[in-house]
Amino acid sequence: MTTFSKDFLLKIPKADLHLHLDGSLRINTLIELAKKDKVALPAYSEEELRKNVFKKNYRNLPEYLKGFAYTTAVMQKKENIERIAYELAQDNIKEGVRYIEVRFAPQQHVSKNMTPADSVRAAFKGLKKAQEEHNKSEPVKNGSDVEFNFGLILCAMRSFNKNTSLYYNHLIDSLHYAKEEEIASIASLELARIAVALKEEGLPIVGFDLAGKEEGHPAEDHWQAYQYVHEAFIRKTLHAGEAFGPESIFQAITECHANRIGHGTFLFDTDLIKDRKVKNKKRYIEELANYLASERVGIEVCLTSNLQTLPKIKSVQEHPIKKMIAMGLSLSICTDNRLVSHTTLTDEYLLLTNNINLTRKQLRNIVIAGFKGSFFTPYSSKHAFVKKVIERYNQVEAEYYR
């Protein structure tokens, strides 16, 4: 069994394709902004917040999601979002991450002085500032390091209520007689229009996402939004198979043109197939997995997050990632939420390599797949960037494994 040190995993270039902005604040920044903006927190010390809110272990998904009420509360100003995005890029750069796709739901960050589009522009400004600082550094100039790049993914919500944000409050109030799924569909289509408009402005809007409770809130409710971004050549990802079964993944690729799947944790779980028309569940899953593999539909794997929110999975050994690797699926290792999950991308790779017996070649393939499976555009720039990443990876590997 090859062992990979944390130092080695820290130095290799990495990509994080599933990274929520509102789940990845610096905890000290959260405390500082909360004090400044008079946002009530359960405690104002890192120790107490780590103990009671942002833990290493959670009992269930509702407990995991509790912290987002506090993070989104301090993200109602453009300057706050810009700072949070800037610091997120800095933290990633510091640990060898050279490409990130930052996702968040801008409709949750609407205030009297900020529109959804404003919040996206603010995040872009912060990320761009960190990118320019790194890319002007001497190691990048002399070729001993790789430049840093990023993309933005706008996230629609499967469900919400009036307390979720000012935007959703106004939307629900104005649609008195509409069904819940109709309101969610209207919100996602509006976000799709925002995504296309911002892309035309020149912002790196590389993807569109759908998050929230899967069961009872099918992806097909949002097909109009996905068709809209599809026609504008924006890539698509969905949270699917995270808390529901293979059918959710099937719907993501058939109804929403998914290029990647967020989590996909229950891809192989026959017990979660509810469609009575599926007579041979084992064959259904085999064909679905083979389709994902052959079409290179990426799986964004978030190990720590899954262990924290899915009681059914008690260890990495019980996680389907080993089967995903064996079946040749295109997967990337991601953090999901750096603050809420109390993790970094280096920690995720350490968790993977400490529990799954990988060869050097297998690890290298997974790391590089994170870059190749990204939505980074244009393709010519992506191709040149991936080539530099591979060269840098080979350099670091040679230092540690002569």
- The predicted-structure confidence for 258-273, as pLDDT tens digits, reads as follows 999 999 999 999 998 8
Query: Whole-angstrom Cα distance, residue 253 to residue 219?
Result: 10
For range 390-395, the mean pLDDT: 96
Asked if residue 91 has pLDDT above 70, the reply is yes
Q: How many Cβ atoms are within 10 Å of 111's Cβ, its own excluded?
A: 15
Q: For residue 392, what is the enclosing H or E element?
A: helix 379-400
For range 37-44, the mean pLDDT: 96
- pLDDT at position 133: 98
Rounded to the nearest 10 degrees, what angle do helices 223-231 and 180-201 cross at?
10
Per cent of the chain over pLDDT 70 is 100
pLDDT confidence bin for 243, thresholds 50/70/90: confident
Cβ partners under 8 Å of residue 164, min gap 6: 108, 157
Radius of gyration of the chain from Cα atoms? 20
Q: For residue 290, what is the enclosing H or E element?
A: helix 281-294
- pLDDT at position 194: 98
- The predicted-structure confidence for 334-391, as pLDDT tens digits, reads as follows 999 999 999 999 999 999 999 999 999 999 999 999 999 999 999 999 999 999 999 9
Q: What is the pTM of this model?
A: 0.96
- The predicted-structure confidence for 68-81, as pLDDT tens digits, reads as follows 999 999 999 999 99
Q: Where are the domains of the chain?
A: 6-19+91-111+133-400
- pLDDT at position 60: 82
CB 19 within 8 Å of CB 100: yes
Q: For 308-330, b where at least 16 C-beta lie within 10 A, e where not — what string?
A: bbbeebeebeebbbbebbebebb
- Average pLDDT of the residues of the chain: 95
pLDDT confidence bin for 323, thresholds 50/70/90: very high
Instruction: Give the strand pairing for 235-240 and 205-211.
Output: parallel
- pLDDT at position 374: 98
CATH 3.20.20.140 holds for 6-19+91-111+133-400: yes
DSSP-based three-state secondary structure for 296: coil
Query: Whole-angstrom Cα distance, residue 74 to residue 166?
Result: 14
Query: Whole-angstrom Cα distance, residue 263 to residue 286?
Result: 18
Asked if residue 2 has pLDDT above 80, the reply is no
For range 313-317, the mean pLDDT: 93
Asked if residue 1 has pLDDT above 80, the reply is no
Query: Whole-angstrom Cα distance, residue 277 to residue 280?
Result: 9
